[in-house]
Chain A
Amino acid sequence: MFEFSPNDYQAMALSAKVAITATVISLPFGYAAAYVLVFSRLRGKAVLDGVVNLPLVVPPVVVGYLLLLFLGEQGWAGALLRQFDVRIVFTWWAAVIASLVVGFPLLVRSIRIGMEGIDERLLHASRTLGAPWYDTLTTIILPLSGRSIMAGATLMFARSLGEFGATIIIAGNIPGLTQTIPLAIYDYTNTPGGDSMALSLCFVSVAISFAVLLVNESLVKRFSRQRRP
């Protein structure tokens, strides 16, 4: 029923690769950011909170454009990377960075909700038993926020699969190189006679998203059976 071109297959593989990479890279940072926002007595937490959440409300196109200015040839980071002969813009890494920035607030929010649900008195108990903060973090907070980490990672993965606005600006729409599923669909809708191909990819997109939700649901269930909070 569905027929896919080699480009389509490449778009699917690239989408998965970008989403997985972005999620894996952002997990430790998202966890650290959530920890700081929930448990630290840092001054300027409100500012950090704002910065983390900003990409959630700013249009992705704006995020993409700002990233382009920052990482492009003339940009501050771009020029720096240029010295090491590294180019990010218009490579698949640019798509990863776009997904990273746009999906990060979702990840942090989810982990944060989980951490806020942990009874502070459990942390007091672990400290009185001789555990320094990093010990408490790994033996109490991490296992008790496991569900929210998984939920956050799923959300971020799904968001990365659907990322379009920032990606098209910073990574471009180069088939086989930076063209993910949403970009491929966009291409087909602009091509006469591409409707059926677009629809096929839409089905793929829906199927992947649905599968991610199912896998997440079962993981969360299994996790909560093992470690009832």
Chain B
Amino acid sequence: MKLSVSLQKRFSDFDCSFDFTTHANRVGIFGGSGSGKSTLVHMLAGLVQPDSGVIELDGKVLFDSKATISVPTERRRIGVVFQQAHLFPHMSALSNLLYGYRRTPATQRQIKPEALIKVLNLEDLLERNVNTLSGGERQRVALGRAVLSSPRLLLMDEPLSSLDEGLKFQIIPYLLAVFKDFQVPVLLVSHSTNEIRLMTEEVIVVHKGRVSEQIDPETLARQRMGRRRAGYINLFNLQEAKPQDGLLAFDWEGNRLLLSSGLGPEPGMFELSSKDIMLFKKHPEATSARNLIPCRVGGIFDMEGRSGVELHCNKGQLIAQVAQKAIEDLDIVPGREIFAAIKSSAFRRLY
């Protein structure tokens, strides 16, 4: 996907001016509330008319104020998944799903409803009245509905923000499966660094109606670690576990991780705060932490008064967070061998 945007819009109490070009297939738009993220989405979809500027998607001009081009929303072929599902209340889940599909010319249809229904696990919902669906089910139907219109770009405006914390991450595997299986270019708006990291490959940071940075999601997460109470979040994509000593043993990039048995042995995504990693200069004889991983210091970075230590553990990588003084006391320098201790209960399952 190639998306070039240069848009200006002035409201009575807010004005925004977005300029960026991206070639990534999965792009994140990151920013706090009131940063103009939603305005950007609405302008891209044609639901809000910009004052001036240009939108070009894969060589096709969707909006150009100088040439007075403004392709109407219904002909832009840009799918939108909103914060709330906005399902049509007078239709069944199936009719909702097929609403866009039926309005897409047969030659432009790229996705078969049966395949998508299977990926999104919607078989049992099809005949249901949409008003009886749960929040997560509604959002899955809304996602399917947008994808089935075979959009050239799928805009997702904080699609998970209306869901409960637990439910939020259950939807992510579905989203990832859809992106992967159907090759839909995506622009995901979010204020969660975790969502951005799990789902995008490039992120455009917006602040007060302007693009402030265009970086990769990992850099974003490191930048933000100083501002979050939980620090940096390490993510682990783990396969099936085996029980061991009343805990669960997962393989992770050539290491063995022991996690609390309450997390369940199924494969999934787990998180660990950078604050929950303790560093030891030498191998401690005994420790209550069940994970003691030998690693090598890859680098140290400073982020708003805190020190992040990048650790290489076999093929895996961890970020630990320590006080400035600890760096000196432990003599942490790039290349040094060191031990990371992690309690088995410090991990949390995302999905």
Question: Footprint of B on A, CB under 8 Å?
Answer: 119, 121-122, 124-132, 135, 139-140, 143-144, 227-229
Contact = CB atoms under 8 A, between A and B. Distances in A.
B266 interface: no
B82 A127 contact: no
Interface stretch (B14-22, B73-81, B196-204, B244-252): B73-81
A129 B104 CA distance: 8
Secondary structure call for the A interface: helix
Given A121-B82, A125-B82, A228-B131, A131 B88 contact: no
B2 interface: no
Contacts of B99: 126, 129, 131, 139
Contact of B103 (A124, A135, A227): A135
Contacts of A140: 88
27 contacts: A122-B88, A122-B89, A124-B45, A124-B73, A125-B80, A125-B82, A125-B86, A126-B88, A127-B46, A128-B45, A128-B73, A128-B76, A128-B78, A128-B80, A128-B146, A129-B100, A129-B145, A129-B149, A130-B74, A130-B75, A130-B104, A132-B72, A139-B99, A140-B88, A144-B89, A227-B90, A228-B129
Interface string B97-118: 0011001100000000000000
B74 A132 contact: yes
B333 interface: no
B4 interface: no
A128 B84 CA distance: 15
Contacts of A228: 89-90, 129, 131
B69 interface: no
A122 B77 contact: no
A150 to B, nearest CB: 15
A122 to B, nearest CB: 6
A223 to B, nearest CB: 10
Contact of B47 (A128, A144, A227): A128
Interface residues of B, number: 27
Interface in B93-146: 99-100, 103-104, 129, 131, 145-146
Contact of B86 (A119, A130, A132, A229): A119
Nearest to A118: B89
A122 B86 contact: yes
Nearest to B103: A130
B175 to A, nearest CB: 18
Contacts, number: 70
Interface of B: 45-47, 72-80, 82, 84, 86, 88-90, 99-100, 103-104, 129, 131, 145-146, 149
A139 B102 CA distance: 12
A121 B86 contact: yes
B150 to A, nearest CB: 10
A130 B75 CA distance: 6
B39 to A, nearest CB: 14
Contacts of B75: 130
A129 B146 contact: yes
A125 B209 CA distance: 24
B143 to A, nearest CB: 12
A227 B103 CA distance: 22
Contacts of A124: 45, 47, 73, 80, 82, 86
Given A126-B99, A132-B72, 14 more contacts: A122-B89, A125-B86, A127-B47, A128-B74, A128-B76, A129-B79, A129-B100, A129-B145, A129-B146, A129-B149, A130-B74, A131-B99, A135-B74, A144-B90
A57 to B, nearest CB: 35
Nearest to A227: B90
A25 B99 CA distance: 32
Contacts of B78: 128
B146 to A, nearest CB: 7
A194 B69 CA distance: 73
Nearest to B84: A121
A121 B157 CA distance: 13
Enumerate the 9 nearest inter-chain pairs by beta-carbon distance, A residue then B residue, closest first. A129-B100, A130-B103, A227-B90, A127-B73, A128-B80, A125-B86, A143-B90, A127-B74, A121-B86
Contacts of B74: 127-132, 135
Contact of B89 (A130, A132, A229): A229
* Most-contacted residue by chain B among A119, A125, A132, A143 (CB, 10 A): A125
Contacts of A130: 74-75, 77, 100, 103-104, 149
